[in-house]
């Protein structure tokens, strides 16, 4: 029978495989756009965007179930590289990173494709985002940061509770370090349940932020964003493995 850690690892690796598969489909859609298939591409891009959202929903639903197995394993995942772990926020990425990535893509595409944009040769990508879209994205950014702060404060409160009653008092009374205690087990079970709840809130914020961002972008812009987002996710994992090998971690 697979251990809890193996089950969690399998969930992660399945998710990464889906990311690679969807990235290939998104790149094909962008290539169609470059070949002049605008009408088909709009429809295809909308479908691919919806598919990406649905797969993310399925992933966080599965994580919600698995969080009851081993929430500590999700917060300190053995399947992630040291680099990835150093960037985690509530067992995942900060939702606001989606907005920062969008800003970076907008700026870089305008810079590198300015002459094509002026001539009307580039259509639909993030280099052509409108002022109205930027205002909505900025509003989303501010809202997301506030929600992140609320969850960060909740998590900090839970971490501080470890030094509070009843755990601290029971530890003080113990005659031997690491001695088992039903009272401590109960308190830690409650702590882990609260951690699982925070993880679910964070995952919901990640999904809702992505949904709202994609609703602001056109289908073509959404695909442009998703390609960069998935590439970043996959690359960070591979770069992390390279750095782990360099430092003698396996």
Answer whether residue 243 shows pLDDT above 60.
yes
- Reported as a pLDDT band with limits 50, 70 and 90, residue 16 is very high
For 32-52, write each residue's pLDDT tens digit: 765 554 555 788 889 999 999
H helices of the chain, where?
4-34, 38-66, 71-75, 82-86, 96-112, 114-119, 131-161, 167-173, 182-216, 219-246
For 188-236, write each residue's pLDDT tens digit: 899 999 999 999 999 999 999 999 999 999 998 999 899 999 999 999 9
Answer whether residue 118 shows pLDDT above 50.
no
CA 187 – CA 210 distance, rounded (Å): 35
What SS3 state is found at 56?
Answer: helix
Q: 175-199 burial string, b = 16+ CB within 10 Å, else e?
A: eeeeeeeeeeeebeeebbebbbebb
């Amino acid at each position: 029978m697979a251990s809890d850690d193996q089950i969690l690892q399998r969930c992660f690796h399945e998710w990464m495989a889906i990311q690679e598969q969807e990235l290939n489909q998104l790149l094909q859609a962008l290539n169609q756009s470059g070949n002049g298939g605008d009408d088909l591409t709009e429809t295809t891009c909308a479908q691919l965007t919806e598919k990406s959202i649905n797969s993310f929903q399925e992933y966080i639903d599965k994580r919600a179930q698995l969080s009851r197995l081993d929430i500590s394993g999700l917060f300190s995942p053995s399947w992630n590289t040291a680099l990835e772990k150093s960037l985690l926020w509530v067992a995942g990425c900060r939702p606001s990173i989606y907005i920062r990535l969008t800003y970076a893509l907008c700026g870089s595409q305008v810079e590198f494709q300015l002459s094509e944009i002026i001539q009307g040769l580039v259509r639909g990508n993030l280099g052509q985002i409108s002022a109205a879209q930027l205002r909505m994205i900025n509003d989303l950014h501010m809202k997301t940061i506030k929600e992140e702060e609320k969850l960060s404060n909740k998590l900090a409160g839970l971490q501080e509770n470890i030094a509070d009653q009843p755990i601290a008092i029971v530890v003080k009374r113990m005659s031997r370090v690491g001695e088992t205690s039903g009272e401590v087990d109960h308190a830690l079970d409650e702590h882990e349940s609260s951690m699982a709840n925070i993880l679910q809130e964070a995952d919901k914020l990640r999904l809702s932020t992505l949904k709202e961002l994609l609703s602001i972008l056109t289908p073509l812009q959404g695909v442009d964003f998703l390609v960069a987002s998935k590439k970043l996710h996959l690359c960070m994992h591979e770069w992390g493995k390279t750095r782990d090998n360099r430092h003698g971690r396996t």
